[in-house]
Amino acid sequence: MKLSRILMSVVPAVVGVVGALAAPGQTYAQGVACGSVLGPGGTFVLDRDLTCPETPLPGTEWEYLERIGMIKLIGGATLNLNGHTVTCSSRTVLVNGVPSTTPTYGIVVRNSTLVNGTVRDCGYGVVTSHSLVKNVVFDGNRRGVSLQRKYGTGHNLIIGNTIRNSVEGVFVQESAGELLIDNTAENNERAFIVRDLGGTFVGNTAVGNDIGFDIIATEALIGNRAIRNRIGFKIEGAREVIGNIAKNNADGGFLLDTSLGALDATRHNVAHRNGNDGFRIATYNSADGTATLERNYALENRGVGLHVLAETGNAASPPKTFTRNVAIRNQGGDMADDAECRWTNWVDNTFETALQSCID
């Protein structure tokens, strides 16, 4: 799916939410407390910091869609945190005195808007669906932003947020229409994670994480940056990987895995000064579909610039195509195929050193 079509599918879902920011209406400075359900409609402004437990609901307290969390927004409500911090008193919910397998929810946002503040120390910082989340800091949560279908998510606009000190920064699973723009994830174990389906990531930055972008099957990664992580981008399937930068990552810039057969358009990406290979491509067998790497740049990495690893004894059919890529001054050599050159067609690439004569 092209980015224009993705944007057309996502933007209508959030237009009403964005409009709520500018819509006239009463602003409530009071009445936002632990356990509040805000909405339908209305604009609410927090006037103090809060520390809250998750509020139980008798009889349905653990149903995913019914949970309130610390605060819940519904039906087009807007909550402006106004620079304040909402803190979970515990990351773990107790059910009959026993920790639940589903952690404490921070703020639940359903068809609504959350802006301008901090959510701290929760199991999940925000659980959201068909909503806008903007200019929020998620600090010290087990998971900063939860975009998982079983929690009723989908079609969110997550823009300009900071996610830090989490086990999982942003987690997307089996969800559709997610659009993440200009978010920063720093000092997490894994920053941006996708497990099946997912969405579109544009202009996001991962700094100082173990893995910057840990992706299994998503629509598009466009113009993102991974800097000073252990691994910059670990991708097993994406329809488009365009214009991303991996720089100064300790153990490689781009780790690309063709086993899911969906690295169809990987181009205009840059791997610069990473501690291992710039682009490491693990290719499998004839069932893994197409993969075209075009006009990528591997510069001054400590490993190989573009490095193909053959994971099985069967050559790919058809071979992958690497064309018009540039690899220069990589310490382990600029380009390397498997020993028998069975996996890749190398066409019109630019390099200083190549480990096999089949590379062009």
Angle at 282 between CA 308 and CA 306, to 5 degrees: 30
The residue that leads in pLDDT, 30 or 244, is 244
Residue 151, helix vs strand vs coil: helix
Tell me what pLDDT residue 93 has.
Answer: 78
Are 156 and 176 spatial neighbours (Cβ–Cβ below 8 Å)?
no
Tell me what pLDDT residue 341 has.
Answer: 78
What is the tally of structural domains in the chain? 1
Q: What is the pLDDT averaged over residues 112-131?
A: 97
Residue 360 domain-assigned? Answer: no
pLDDT tens-digit readout, 24-46: 455 655 579 999 999 999 999 99
- Give the other-Cβ count within 10 Å of 249's Cβ: 28
105 pLDDT above the threshold of 90: yes
Average pLDDT of the chain to the nearest whole number: 86
CA 230 to chain centre: 16
Tell me what pLDDT residue 92 has.
Answer: 83
Amino acid at 111: N
In the structure, what pLDDT confidence band is assigned to residue 245 with cuts at 50, 70 and 90? Answer: very high
What is the rounded distance in angstroms from the CA atom of residue 163 to the CA atom of residue 356? Answer: 43
**Residues spanned by the domain of 38:** 3-351
Residue 358 domain-assigned? Answer: no
What is the rounded distance in angstroms from the CA atom of residue 114 to the CA atom of residue 296? Answer: 38
Residue 283 domain-assigned? Answer: yes
Whole-number percent of the chain with pLDDT over 70: 84
Mention every residue, 6+ apart, whose C-beta is less than 8 A from residue 101.
none
Residue 9 domain-assigned? Answer: yes
In the structure, what pLDDT confidence band is assigned to residue 22 with cuts at 50, 70 and 90? Answer: very low
pLDDT tens-digit readout, 207-229: 999 999 999 988 899 999 999 99
- Which CATH number covers residue 207? 2.160.20
286 pLDDT above the threshold of 80: no
Residue 310 domain-assigned? Answer: yes
Residue 108 domain-assigned? Answer: yes
Angle at 309 between CA 249 and CA 353, to 5 degrees: 75
pTM of the model: 0.89
